[in-house]
Amino acid sequence: CPANWEEGKEAMNANRAGVASYLSSN
């Protein structure tokens, strides 16, 4: 997980498709 995962966890959980894309891009 990124260093700021906990900080943006709520946003990440609300945008799971974005998370998949983010992880794939990084």
Which tens digits make up the pLDDT trace of 1-26? 556 666 666 655 556 777 777 777 66
Query: In the chain, what are the helix, strand and coil shares in percent, each to the nearest 5?
Result: 60, 0, 40
User: Could you give the number of structural domains in the chain?
Assistant: 1
User: What is the model's pLDDT at position 10?
Assistant: 62
pLDDT at 4: 61
Residue with tokens 């891009």, as numbered in its chain: 25
Angstrom distances, CA of residue 2 to CA of 18, 20: 14, 13
- DSSP structure class, residue 5: T
Provide the pLDDT for residue 19: 73
d(CA 4, CA 11): 11
pTM over cut 0.75: no
| Structural domain that includes position 21 | 1-26
